[in-house]
Amino acid sequence: MILTFLAIAMITIFIVVLAKKKLSIFGALTLIPLIFGIIATFVNKVPLTDMFEWIKTGLFYSVNAETGKVSMGVISPAIVILFAVLYFGVMLNVGLFDPLCEFFIKKAKGDPLKVTVATVLTSLVVTMNGDTTTTIIICVAAFIELWKQMKMNLLYLAVIIVTPIGIFNQLPWGGPTIAASTAMGVEISTLFAALLPGLLVAAVYAVIMAYIIGLKERKRLNFDPKDAKDVSPETIQGMLNAIRDNEPELKRPKMWWFNLIMTLAILAMLIMDIAHGGILFMLGAAIALTANYRSSKLVTERLDALAADSLAPALATLAAGVFSGILTGSGMATALAEGITKIIPEALGTHMAPIYAIISAPAITFLPQDAFYFGIASVMAGVMGQFGITPDQAAVASMVGQAFRLISPVIPALYMLCEYTEINFVDFQKGYIKFAWPILFIYIIVYGITGVMPL
């Protein structure tokens, strides 16, 4: 009971402190769990030094003594983020994405609606790789300069990029689907086949959402599509020049094909899982810097200039390991999981699936993924089984809350996204919920119609 209270208090204070901007994201992710971790050692009657082991597990990895299953900490995504941000920072400097931005400027003719739709379609395609970090990095690198040039709301950019990720992280090679399949003992192919109709309808909604946001931006920016033809060539040229004249001394147009082919090769190897993303982007950054700038003096200057952009999200990622490590290692995550399980009345019988799906959404959002699926979902599968709900149907219900997973404070890449788009993390959460909440009910309705989750 005490650990459950501590977990709720820690999460609540974390959100409030960020919302009121009392601490930086790095400070909030480390200092708040540090305080609660110290309290938890007294509650658990264990040495204070145990807290450092919890943090170590959150940062690096842990091994289940019974199953031998390895649960990775945040060190892996931190390395990916560090070198991916560095790599794409170089690519932005050399002008790799300039032609893409120029293409959309010419086609959009100042129309925010066309830009929002282009952004969501790109995110839908890129997110098929199943990696949240990579999708965010690529989409932000491709579109942020265009959005800034058109003075569009960067909060909307963050929401539009993340919404498709929240949908297609449920592909067979995505973490949630693998965790649900393993924890609940169902075939991953069977689970994905059941989820697919809901994912496709949600993807259509993502495009509609981007269209609605585009209309809102049209109104805010006083853009009238009927007057699009009146956008002068000089205005378009001014927008293009803002891209072309951005640090022209760093651009390497003659190296464009080399940079494009190398980037596509890295992404292909990433998708094919030939090597860890951190390794690919580290080697790619070294090659890109050397090939484009040749002089060791120039390379050192670029590293110094890009260090701040790379360091901030990497620090936030590592700090997230403190948060998740203390939450899980102290037993707070398990206690919270058990507490949420007790909320759902067994008397609801066959109606438990959709109710469980809705109530469990906050748990999916705030708990580490393994803690939810192996702690709550596996337990609830047995409870629901008493009322004739099969493990496959229970697994589908456990995936519904993924509609809100992409506002989780334990997803490191989201802090990088907020750094890029210059928005507060809590503001991002509010914006995402405002536009993406219908996805939760899309899943429930579609799964009810297809019969894969009893209503």
Measured between alpha carbons, how far is 122 from 138 in angstroms, rounded to an integer?
9
Predicted pLDDT at 246: 67
Sequence-ordered strand ranges (E) for 30-157: 61-63, 70-72
Question: Do residues 372 and 175 lie in contact, with contact meaning Cβ atoms separated by under 8 Å?
Answer: no
pTM above 0.75, yes or no: no
SS3 93: helix
Q: What is the domain range of residue 134?
A: 75-169+232-318
Q: In DSSP terms, which residues pair with 62 in a beta bridge?
A: 71
**Checking phi first, is residue 231 left (phi over 0); if not, alpha (psi -120 to 50) or beta?**
beta
> What pLDDT is stored for residue 173 in this prediction?
64
Measure the CA–CA gap between 335 and 373, rounded to whole angstroms. Answer: 14
Question: What tens-digit pLDDT sequence spans the chain (455 residues)?
Answer: 788 889 888 888 887 887 677 888 788 889 999 999 999 999 999 999 999 999 998 888 777 666 677 777 778 878 887 888 888 888 878 888 778 767 776 776 778 898 898 888 888 877 775 567 777 877 887 788 788 888 889 999 999 999 998 888 887 666 677 777 766 777 777 888 888 899 999 999 999 999 999 999 988 988 877 766 555 666 666 656 666 666 788 888 899 999 999 999 988 887 777 888 889 989 999 999 999 998 888 999 999 888 877 887 788 778 888 888 888 888 887 787 677 667 666 666 567 778 888 877 887 887 777 667 766 776 677 667 767 788 888 888 888 888 888 888 878 788 888 888 888 888 999 999 999 889 989 999 999 898 888 87
pLDDT of residue 230: 54
Tell me, yes or no, whether 26 lies in a domain: no
| pLDDT given for residue 182 in this prediction | 66
Give the C-alpha separation, 104 to 145, whole Å.
Answer: 11
- Work out the burial of residue 148: count CB atoms within 10 Å of its CB; fewer than 13 is exposed, 13-18 middle, 19 or more buried: middle
- Kindly state whether residue 245 falls inside one of the protein's structural domains: yes
Is residue 260 a part of any domain in this protein? yes
For residue 4, tell me if it sits in a domain: no
Judge whether 148 lies within some domain. Answer: yes
Q: What per-residue string of b and e applies to 390-424 under the rule 16 or more CB within 10 Å gives b?
A: ebbbbbbbbbbbbbbbbbbbbbbbbbbbbbbbebe
Structure-token pair, residue 135: 């999708």
Q: Is 116 inside a domain boundary?
A: yes
Please report whether residue 110 resides in a domain.
yes
Domain total in the chain? 1
Tell me the C-alpha distance between 263 and 257, whole Å: 10
Name the one residue in this structure whose structure tokens are 């900490």.
73
Any domain includes 109: yes
Give me the helices (H) in 150-255, please: 154-168, 175-184, 188-220, 233-244
